[in-house]
Amino acid sequence: MNPQNRVRRFRLALPVFVLIAALGLGAIVQWLWNAILPAAANFNTITYWQAVGLFVLCKILFGGFRGGPGHHRHPGKWQRFNRHFGRGGREEIMAWKNKWMQMTDEERRRFRQEMRNRWRKPPENI
C-alpha cells in the first residue's frame, strides 16, 4: 500500500471515528446521569442529545479539544508558572551545581547535616 494512500485514508477515517466516539460517550453520559442523579439529587432525566451536548460542553470547559501529534510538546500550566517564577529553571539548577562543586568536603558534610536537621520529623512531645 502506498504511504500517501494510508495518510489519506487516516485523514478521512479520523473525523468519522471522533464522531462515533462522541456519540458513544453521549450514550454513556446519558446512562450515568439518568441512573444516578434523579435518585440522588432529584434532577430530571435527560435525553440522548442533551447528554451529547452536556459532554461537548464539559469537554470545552474542562478539557478542551487538544490532541494530535504536537500536543505534548507545549508546556503545561505549571511548567509555564515555574519557568516564569524561576522554579526549576536551568539557570537555578546550574547555580546550585556550581555552588556544590565549589564546596569543600567539610562544607558538603555540614550542608548535608543541616538539610537532615531541617527536614527531620519534629519531636512528638511538643
Checking if the pLDDT of 10 tops 60, the result is yes
Show the domain range for 91: 82-119
pTM for this entry: 0.45
- Shared-domain flag, residues 3 and 57: yes
Domain annotation covers residue 53? yes
Average pLDDT, the chain: 80
- Shared-domain flag, residues 53 and 113: no
Q: Give the cell for residue 5.
A: 494512500
Domain annotation covers residue 125? no
- Shared-domain flag, residues 60 and 110: no
DSSP, residue by residue, 17-84: HHHHHHHHHHHHHHHHHHHHHHHHH-PPP--HHHHHHHHHHHIIIIITT--STTGGGS--HHHHHHHH
Compare 116 and 125 and report the one with higher pLDDT. 116
